[in-house]
Amino acid sequence: MSARPQSDRVRVRRQPTRGSYDRAAVDAVLDRGLVAHVAFVDAGQPFCVPMLYARVSDCLYVHGAGSSRITHRLAEGVPACVTITGIDGLVLARSAFEHSANYRSVMLLGAFAAVTGAQRLAALEAFTNKLVPGRWREVRSPNRKELKATSVLAMPIREASVKSRSGPPTDDGSPDAQLDVWAGVVPILTRFGEPEPSPGLRRTIRLARSVERLAAIGSAVGSDVVINQGVCSE
């Protein structure tokens, strides 16, 4: 993926200097996020559904119940738009108009296709390890009934753009800088909390190693979670 948009559809028009089309920038936002908003049209009605996702090499994977409308519709290959956004801070200026936020966002355009065979199990492993790295090795793998009830869909990463903002408010050099109003950035941090055992967990079972590592990170959710393995086949 080049530093230029793959199509005019993903070109950043508003404040284009904040846009990027570099594949490394796209992957960085995808690998830090946890929730994707997947938009599509069904019978003339637009829908936008939040879904967990994972990136594996050149594909974005989502999954859901095999009987759900969204998985059926997306598996048909309808045009879809996927967005992932992370908010890093509130940008407080002297004037209400100049208030903003520091953020990272990515938008992908394309179509999903159903994933079958061994690639589907690999995608489910990626989903699990996206949430908690190393968790897949600690738990029971899906059985035949569970696999039958689950649909996995993949969208090749072809048309994508990143838009981001960082830094302080932009009115430091303006006449508003003379106002007696505090201005600056309030960081937004999402951290892992203390693990809470399930009420039915036997007392003899110790905390999982994967959860211990996650709790020890104590940093922003997703910042150290990187899934980039395997090959996306179409």
Give the tens place of pLDDT for each residue, 101-149: 999 999 999 999 999 888 889 999 999 999 999 999 999 999 999 999 9
Tell me the CATH number at 21: 2.30.110.10
Handedness of CA 121, 127, 128, 129 (dihedral sign): positive
Instruction: Please state the rounded mean pLDDT for residues 190-211.
Output: 92
Same domain, 101 and 55: yes
CB atoms within 10 A of CB 112: 28
Range of 85's domain? 8-188
Do residues 125 and 37 share a domain?
yes
Same domain, 95 and 201: no
End-to-end CA distance of the chain: 18
**Percent of the chain surpassing pLDDT 90:** 70
Q: Is the pLDDT of residue 197 over 90?
A: yes
Q: Which residues contact 153 (CB under 8 A, 6 or more apart)?
A: 61, 62, 63, 64, 71, 74, 75, 112, 113, 114, 115
> Would you say residue 1 lies in a domain?
no
Distance separating alpha carbons of residues 55 and 30, to the nearest angstrom: 7
Residue 61 Cα to chain centre, angstroms: 11
Same domain, 196 and 137: no
The CA distance from 205 to 210, in Å, is: 14
Same domain, 174 and 213: no
CB atoms within 10 A of CB 116: 8
Yes or no: say if 81 and 39 are a contact pair by the CB < 8 Å rule. Answer: yes
Question: What is the number of domains present in the chain?
Answer: 2
In a domain, 232, yes or no: no
**Is 16 part of a structural domain of the chain?**
yes
Task: Report the pLDDT value the prediction gives residue 171, as an integer from 0 to 100.
Answer: 95
- Looking at residue 143, its amino acid is N
Domain shared by 58 and 173, yes or no: yes
Question: Higher-confidence residue: 19 or 157?
Answer: 157
Closest CA to 110 of 66, 77, 151: 77
What number of other Cβ atoms are within 10 A of residue 75's Cβ?
17
134 in the same domain as 67: yes
Q: Whole-angstrom Cα distance, residue 46 to residue 28? A: 28
Report the predicted TM-score, pTM, of the whole model to 2 decimal places: 0.84
Same domain for 181 and 92: yes
